[in-house]
Structure 1
Amino acid sequence: MLKKYLDKLQPYLDKLNPYWEKLRPQAQVAIAKGKHFYKHAEVIAQQKWAQPRFRLISSLLGALVLGVVIGMIFAPSKNDTENTHKTISVDKTGIINLSLPGVTLSPDVFEFYQTGESTAPIMLSVPGRLAYNAERVKVISARAPGRVERIYAFDGAVVKEGDAVADFYSPDYVSAQTEYILSSKMVAALNKADVGTLYQDAKDTQEAAANHLRILGGSNQDIQRLRTTGLASPTFPIRAPIQGVVIKRAVDPGAYLNTGDVLATIADPKNLWFVGNVYEQDISKIHVGDIFHLKVEAFPERDFVAKANYVGASIDPTTHALVIRCEIENADGLLKPEMFATGTLEVGTTSAVVIPTSALIQARNARFVIIKTGPESYSRLPVYGFELNDHEFAVTDGLTAHQTLLIKGATLLNQRFAREED
């Protein structure tokens, strides 16, 4: 039976592709050995064929010979492997070139465009944080000794200018009210008598009493009420000096304050500062009046504008950086004090090839792009530059104008580069 299969295999060997022609001698030798083995096996079989164990062994040996013959025919030789066409190469500059013969990149997945040289702004990046505008922060303190009777605005409360923040009892304020009431009555009495200079003296005394009330914290509304009703109040309201938010409350109701003790702090959240650090090599590029564009992590899509109003006079000995300060309008209230922010300032321009960020490939702490160098060939180039925005990258080295750049599907094609490179 084995001889029958080997004889049938011979015609197929004659019809194989010339690529396998050099394997014919080896296959013929294997077939001749198989026939020789079969003749010996046939002799033995005439003597011991009746034994089941010998039949099993001879069948297994026949199958083994057939497998060896087929493997020798179809297994590629060492020379064939060495002659396989290489699809990747590296030139003297280290640039990787990839050839894909017979492969067409689908336009639905891959997109190319011609590069062109343009001018890109040089941006200086300044890290920093947001803070309340100190010019719009007011501390409310006691103007006379007394006791806090009631608090109306606690931490985080939004107040308008003139709103009552707390009720305060002070003997000095009660005395000042009495003084004003008496002087007002004197003015009214002398006005009816028309006594000349005495009336004017009374008017001066009344105005002095009103000013005393203002010094203690009384408002014009409080003074008008005293003039109308003639009744002193045991407490008076401490009012907000500006519109803003109570950012810190120093005492609780019932606390006793001496003159100058702090009751609360109010700040205007609509006007903030950006406090940034400029390193020594960049100091000459910063000036008062420069316009910075700020980015914060909370709103990465928003661009906030800040104007520099202060440049430090000396270097910070700890950070060895120069402090700058910028004013920011925060009308919508999105920005919060103590947020980290990064300010960018345009300090010049440079020639560059501006490309979409979709063309960039991040690998091994470097940036690469893929260009088309022929109908079926591509190169991966390292590029250097800086980000212009979230969608554009300025290449200052590694890419030139009039090159066919892959701007869509770069990551997918780079996988082929990586696979061939490995």
Structure 2
Amino acid sequence: MKKENIVYIGIAVIVGLLVGYFIFGGKAETASMDAHNHDAEIAAEEMWTCSMHPQIMQPEPGSCPICGMDLIPADANGEGLAANQIKMTENAMVLAGVETLVVGSDVQGDDQIKLSGKVAINQNSDAVQSAYFDGRIESLSINFEGEEVRKGQKLATIYAPALVSAQQELLTAAGLKSNQPQLYNAVRNKLKLWKLSDAQIDQIENSGKVVENFPVYANVNGVVSAIMVEEGDYIKTGSPLVKVADLNSVWAVFDAYENQLSQFKTGQVMEVTTTSYPNEKFKAKISFIDPILNAQTRTLEVRAELDNKKGLLKPEMFVQGEVEVSKMENAEVLTVPESAVLWTGKRSVVYVQPDGNSPIFELREVELGNLMNDVYVVHSGLKSGDRVVAKGTFTVDAAAQLQGKKSMMNQDGGKTMTDHEGHMGMSSAMKMEFSEKAQNMFEQLLGSYMKLKDGLVASDATQVQQLAKEGVEVAKQMSTTDMNDMAKQHLAIISEKLTSISKASSLEKQREDFIMLSENMIMMGNQMKGLNEKVFVQHCPMADNNKGANWLSLDEEIRNPYYGDAMLTCGSVVSTIN
């Protein structure tokens, strides 16, 4: 019995093992195969991108061909996202400095509206010195516009044939004044109508000589704002000679939007400031509100009168005015930071983060009102509680353009451009366009950049500051040339970084700003139709705390601007711009 039991038990164990294998082993193998196939499918679909250059898309990990940074997994092809939505990686958000905030009713009660404008001549005190008789300008006693004149000062000398005849009549009538006083008085009055004074008439009468050239004197104190004649010109009665402006009182002329009209009234007090005197505040009163709206700009003129006895304010000087607005009782005002708004023509857009825990952003058009303390009043497009991108808005929009999504510059979304080999490149909305003059100016800007780079290689912070100042001036000149909005945005960043470098006294700060300066120079250089010299894009993997950084060089030989002599030859050429 014991042997039989042992046999039965053994058979049962074997059967149990076989059944267990067929039941669970098969499922495990199937599950293993499924898992393997699933992983293979994920691996097949996974794409890799660069956190600094999201236009780079590769099917396998490696280094970014632009900056050399390690590629990171890209999001799956954006399935489930609307045309106006974009998804960014957490790493890209950190590098771009993206910050969000929840909008709400931050402004209510008394506050200010900020207006931008210019100083203008007060036309109420702008005098035009005119000719009172026909004649010829023999000489001018004023030499240039801006010259200060005093009331009674001689402005010009005029030869007037009619005055010569009138003087002869005076001398004749003077001998007959006892017999014909009415004739004598009529001749004197005639000369007075031509603005000759009693003293001048008496002098002619007493001397018995005819004066051929008559002086013209200033009627008011002020500054010559326009000289309207030249020596030798023939003039008619009433012809303007010079304009004299009294700058003791000037106007500040502002442009206000039509939706701000209800906030202004004549006599309202405002505070005016200017960048020329940042510590000075000028009090003014609104003296005029234009009743006619400019149909093109949808703005109207608001004019305030300023006391300028100190002579600090000059015509055409830029000024900013702050006006107190009326109290808004029982009214909540939804606001959004000025930095969150992107403007393009008549459109203004923001980026909203629907879910604060997900890096998905949605383009939203908004209708804005007054600018108060660096925030805009929102009329439509947002509701209280919406989370918007407050910093890094342009970077988010640039990423949307690169992915062919709706963006500030592209209302319908754009396709991604590919080169002749089919490689994915920059979206059409990111394309920069330059006039021939702008391309020539970029050559000069590139020259300034190269000198700046050499200064960093030499680790000479003082020289770098001076070279950056020169670069700022070149960038300013380039900004006056024709280019599209995308090019202007990159040029603005270049100018900003050059300005920052010019103010930084430490090499560490200068080299930190040089990273972003170089990236924008590379992006702009890559879209130039042709440069006079081949430019090498070089990369140091250790710069920027081992994140890697690029720079441009005219020499293929590595001279590292981020470390100088410490690691002079650290780096490699990653691409060229022909």
The TM-score with structure 1 as length reference comes to 0.50
* Residue 293 of structure 1: aligned partner: 271
Work out whether 1:152 is the aligned partner of 2:141: yes
Are residues 306 and 179 of structure 1, via their aligned partners in 2, closer, same or farther at CA, if it must alter by over 3 Å?
Answer: farther
Residues 65-98 of structure 1: per-residue CA shift (max 9 Å, x gap)? xxxxxxxxxxxxxxxxxxxxxxxxxxxxx99xxx
* Residue 7 of structure 1: aligned partner: none
* Residue 265 of structure 1: aligned partner: 243
1:387-402 equivalences in 2 (<5 Å): 387=373
CA distance in 1, matches of 2:294, 2:137: 42
CA distance in 1, matches of 2:150, 2:202: 21
Are residues 326 and 228 of structure 1, via their aligned partners in 2, closer, same or farther at CA, if it must alter by over 3 Å?
Answer: farther
CA distance in 1, matches of 2:135, 2:114: 51
CA distance in 2, matches of 1:230, 1:278: 64
Are residues 149 and 319 of structure 1, via their aligned partners in 2, closer, same or farther at CA, if it must alter by over 3 Å?
Answer: same
* Residue 171 of structure 2: aligned partner: 181
Work out whether 1:241 is the aligned partner of 2:219: yes
Cα shift at 1:121: 4.2
1:189-200 equivalences in 2 (<5 Å): 190=178
CA distance in 1, matches of 2:373, 2:298: 26
Secondary structure at 1:225 match in 2: helix
* Residue 24 of structure 1: aligned partner: none
Q: Which moved more, 1:219-228 or 1:296-305?
A: 219-228
CA distance in 2, matches of 1:336, 1:182: 52
Residues 357-386 of structure 1: per-residue CA shift (max 9 Å, x gap)? xxxxx9999xxxxxxxxxxxxxxxxxxx96
Which AA in structure 1 matches 2:153? D
Contact kept, 8 Å, 1:157 with 1:245, in 2: the verdict is yes
CA distance in 1, matches of 2:241, 2:224: 11
* Residue 292 of structure 2: aligned partner: 314
User: Residue 225 of structure 1 is aligned with which of 179, 203, 221?
Assistant: 203
Cα shift at 1:338: 0.8
Are residues 135 and 386 of structure 1, via their aligned partners in 2, closer, same or farther at CA, if it must alter by over 3 Å?
Answer: closer
* Residue 331 of structure 1: aligned partner: 309
User: Residue 254 of structure 2 is aligned with which of 271, 276, 279?
Assistant: 276
1:53-64 equivalences in 2 (<5 Å): none
Which AA in structure 2 matches 1:143? Y
1:116-127 equivalences in 2 (<5 Å): 121-127=110-116
Contact kept, 8 Å, 1:167 with 1:237, in 2: the verdict is yes
Are residues 364 and 145 of structure 1, via their aligned partners in 2, closer, same or farther at CA, if it must alter by over 3 Å?
Answer: closer
Residues 91-131 of structure 1: per-residue CA shift (max 9 Å, x gap)? xxx99xxxxxxxxxxxxxxxxxxxxxxx9841122221111
Cα shift at 1:157: 2.1
Secondary structure at 2:303 match in 1: strand
Q: Which has the higher strand share?
A: 1
Contact kept, 8 Å, 1:279 with 1:321, in 2: the verdict is yes
Which AA in structure 1 matches 2:141? Y
Secondary structure at 2:175 match in 1: helix
Contact kept, 8 Å, 2:272 with 2:320, in 1: the verdict is yes
Cα shift at 1:321: 1.3
Which AA in structure 1 matches 2:244? I
Cα shift at 1:183: 3.0
Secondary structure at 2:276 match in 1: coil
Residues 251-298 of structure 1: per-residue CA shift (max 9 Å, x gap)? 222222233333221111111111112211111121111112111111
Q: Identity, % of aligned pairs?
A: 29
User: Residue 340 of structure 1 is aligned with which of 294, 318, 330?
Assistant: 318
Secondary structure at 1:336 match in 2: coil
Residues 135-155 of structure 1: per-residue CA shift (max 9 Å, x gap)? 211222333221111111122
Are residues 303 and 168 of structure 1, via their aligned partners in 2, closer, same or farther at CA, if it must alter by over 3 Å?
Answer: same
Secondary structure at 2:127 match in 1: strand
CA distance in 2, matches of 1:211, 1:267: 30
Are residues 147 and 286 of structure 1, via their aligned partners in 2, closer, same or farther at CA, if it must alter by over 3 Å?
Answer: same
Which AA in structure 1 matches 2:174? S
Contact kept, 8 Å, 1:295 with 1:302, in 2: the verdict is yes
Contact kept, 8 Å, 2:142 with 2:156, in 1: the verdict is yes
Larger radius of gyration: 1
Cα shift at 1:224: 3.4
Contact kept, 8 Å, 2:114 with 2:372, in 1: the verdict is no
Cα shift at 1:210: 2.8
CA distance in 2, matches of 1:181, 1:234: 14
CA distance in 2, matches of 1:265, 1:146: 19
Secondary structure at 2:312 match in 1: coil
CA distance in 1, matches of 2:160, 2:253: 41
CA distance in 2, matches of 1:261, 1:146: 10
Runs of 4+ in 1 over 4 A off after TM superposition: 362-365, 385-388
Contact kept, 8 Å, 1:122 with 1:350, in 2: the verdict is no
Work out whether 1:254 is the aligned partner of 2:232: yes
CA distance in 2, matches of 1:205, 1:339: 56
Which AA in structure 2 matches 1:297? T
Contact kept, 8 Å, 1:129 with 1:340, in 2: the verdict is yes
Give unmatched runs, 5+ long, in structure 1: 1-93, 96-118, 191-197, 352-361, 366-384, 389-396, 399-422
